[in-house]
Amino acid sequence: MDRRLFLTSLAAAGLGLATTARADGVLLRELYNKDKSFSDLALSLAGQRIEVGGYMAPPLKAETNFYVLTRRPMATCPFCETEAQWPTDIVAVYARDLIVPIPFNVPMLTTGVLELGTYTDPDLGFVSRVRLTDARFDRA
């Protein structure tokens, strides 16, 4: 059994260990299978606080608590798509407080509660399949 699977199984068993897949967080690509279904790791971590690294896409509006975490830096926001077109390398993030945007090319770590399943934000119209809620972030 590899370290990631071992830690995930311990977290799922409720032994109080860290709920991230490893010390430096969950990778965006680890949340999905090749067929775009949720991975076993994602399903085991749903509802738990996890840490994910990435980049902040330019916010959709000013003075918001919402942003999109991307696997690689993106200067524009190409994310307002339908569920069928949802990319597997981004996560919608709902922060605890209003965010102060950081440059799109600065690496960051986001910690929040993992939520899975299709959700359409009533204010923004943004459709997501994966979200981090009650989130906080720091530059990496």
Q: Write down all domains in the chain, each with its CATH number in brackets.
A: 3-139 (2.40.50.140)
Query: At 94, is the pLDDT very low, low, confident or very high (cuts 50, 70, 90)?
Result: very high
Determine what percent of the chain is predicted with pLDDT higher than 70: 74
CA 88, distance to chain mean position in Å, is 10
Q: Is the pLDDT of residue 98 over 80?
A: yes
Q: State residue 86's pLDDT score.
A: 54
For residues 106 and 55, what is the distance between their CA atoms, to the nearest angstrom? 6
DSSP 28-79: GGGGB-TTSSBPHHHHHHTTSEEEEEEEEPPPSSSS-SEEEEESS--SS---
Of 46, 3, 47, nearest in space to 24 by CA: 3
59 contact partners, CB below 8 Å, separation of at least 6: 66, 67, 77, 99, 101
Q: Identify the burial level of 72 via C-beta atoms within 10 angstroms of its C-beta, where 0-12 means exposed, 13-18 middle and 19 or more buried.
A: exposed
109, two tokens: 């770590």
The predicted-structure confidence for 120-136, as pLDDT tens digits, reads as follows 989 888 888 999 999 99
The predicted-structure confidence for 57-80, as pLDDT tens digits, reads as follows 888 777 889 999 988 887 766 554
For residues 12 and 50, what is the distance between their CA atoms, to the nearest angstrom? 13
Higher pLDDT, 72 or 37: 37
Q: What is the mean pLDDT of the chain?
A: 79
Of 79, 71, 74, 93, nearest in space to 27 by CA: 71
Q: State residue 93's pLDDT score.
A: 95
